[in-house]
Structure 1
Amino acid sequence: MNRFENKIALITGSSQGIGAACALRLASEGADIILNGRSYDERGEGLIKQINDMGRRATFLTADVSNPQNVINLVNDAIKSYGQLDILVNNAGVEKNHNFWEVTEQEYDFVMDTNLKGIFFGIQAFVKYCMGANRGGVVVNMSSVHEEIIFPHFAAYCASKGGLKMLTRDLATELAPLNVRINNVAPGAIATPINKHLMETPDLLNNVLKNIPMKKLGEPEDVAALVAFLSSDDAKYVTGSTYFVDGGLTYHYEEQ
């Protein structure tokens, strides 16, 4: 099924993990893909080959999305790559594990700039394009269950995801007349490189699994499946909400 035939998707932070899974899923359903990361390496090369082997086009654009101008340039360069842009998946994100009283301004700014400020101005650049081209578009933001539930020692991260939740709700109303839909996907505990330490530490992993009714970590492909739905016309009446991919974690959560 080619839900994304003749569609172009830009996915930030797509060298690995959830972003890479999203790229492969959208390509498998017909989309041409703009990949992104801070640097182009063997991971990007491998993804381009996989996407090309599906018969789809793929380009890798390097950009550090913690800088708003970089994100604006990334969106505009993505549009130039294939002459259009239909889907923006804001997947790139960072987290810092610190006691609240030890967080530096530099660390706070890095998290907020990557997880909220960069996304804000990336969406703005995309919306300006949609308005100028007189066409609609779809935005999917990668939030987190921590837009809703606490995460001690990750205060800046939680603040950034809480802000993203409200930004998405607000923009859903403001952008609806422009035929631009926007939603959040909120992964729980997913088996990705960012959780490598968790997966390799049995005690930590068991503590997490106690809070997940399904008693297992999710896979990047589980998240990508929901991103694909929200990006498609199957979700043409869906905007302004957050969709959890968490095995039941969010409303079963108890801090250990």
Structure 2
Amino acid sequence: MSLDFGLKGAHVLITGAAGGIGLETVRVFCQLGARVTAHYNSRIGALSEIPDIVSLQADVRDETSVERLLAEATEKNGGPVNVLIVNHGIWPAEAKSIADMDLKQWENTLAVDLTGPFLLCRAYLRALKGASEEVKKAASIVFIGSTAGRYGEAGHGDYASAKSALQGGFMLTLKNEIVHIAPQGRVNSVNPGWVVTPLAEDTLEDTAFVERVLATTPLRKVGRPEDVARQVAVLASPVLSGHVSGMGIMVEGGMEGRLLWPPKSS
């Protein structure tokens, strides 16, 4: 049976597209017949090997750079962006408690993981105001959140705080505002747990760490990029999810929380 996602010919902009989840998301939307604009920060990576996409560089922390990204996407890929997938993000690898975290790290993580989405969504919505009704019909924003935004994450309070705001107050506000521009516009988030990506490979080689992560996860496995990418496509689809907005879909194998780590000394 063939399933029509209603995304053939839709212009989809995916940020952080050179990474594991982003790259797989590009592939999924290409398979669905979308016109894909793939954003990257500094390294284009495997994006250069994917045919029929437009790859653009931008610093999501910079207002001018983000505005240029939306303008170039419109110019180089056949018109205004229908669907915005906000996938980019940073997760500082070295664990630091709030007490030990310096202000520079805190500010940079929030600049990328929260201010960046704000700038992107603002530019997208402003462009949407002048778009045709046909473009507006497929209007959709999908954020990539995290289990850290729901449960917190010791040693990564900067990342957890940004994701919590993104998939919480920011997403819920936008789903109420987008309809004033595009009456059928929708905003949702996909919130994965640990996913096997190049950036996470070293961490996931620690067997004890993986066992601890999966201790409250009924499916007892770490996610794959395609698990996230396919759910993003489902939420972006005006056919499959046309009456779904303001939802945060957890893609984490049924995870129910975190174990306290390190354990308290007796």
In the superposition, the TM-score normalised over structure 1's length comes to: 0.91
| Alpha-carbon contact 2:80-2:128 (below 8 Å) kept | no
**Structure 2 residues without counterparts, runs of 5 or longer:** 262-266
| Alpha-carbon contact 1:40-1:60 (below 8 Å) kept | no
| Distance in 1, Cα, partners of 2:45 & 2:127 | 31
| Distance in 2, Cα, partners of 1:16 & 1:120 | 21
| Distance in 1, Cα, partners of 2:4 & 2:245 | 22
What is aligned with 1:147? 149
Match of 2:62 among 58, 67, 82: 67
Q: Which amino acid aligns with 1:145?
A: T
Match of 1:58 among 30, 53, 66: 53
Aligned residues: 247
What is aligned with 1:84? 80
In the superposition, the TM-score normalised over structure 2's length comes to: 0.88
| Distance in 1, Cα, partners of 2:23 & 2:208 | 29
| Distance in 2, Cα, partners of 1:185 & 1:202 | 26
Identical-pair percentage? 25
| Alpha-carbon contact 2:151-2:257 (below 8 Å) kept | no
| Distance in 2, Cα, partners of 1:129 & 1:171 | 15
1:236 corresponds to 2:242: yes
SS of aligned partner of 2:54: strand
Q: Which amino acid aligns with 1:37?
A: Y
Match of 1:109 among 107, 110, 113: 107
1:100 corresponds to 2:70: no
Instruction: Give the stretch that moved more between structures: 215-224 or 3-12.
Output: 3-12
SS of aligned partner of 1:61: strand
| Distance in 2, Cα, partners of 1:218 & 1:25 | 16
| Alpha-carbon contact 1:2-1:30 (below 8 Å) kept | no
SS of aligned partner of 2:245: coil
Q: Which amino acid aligns with 1:105?
A: L
What is aligned with 1:168? 171
CA 1:235/1:215 → structure 2, altered by over 3 Å: closer, same or farther? same
| Alpha-carbon contact 2:80-2:131 (below 8 Å) kept | no
Q: What does 1:118-129 align with in structure 2 at a 5 Å threshold?
A: 118-129=116-127
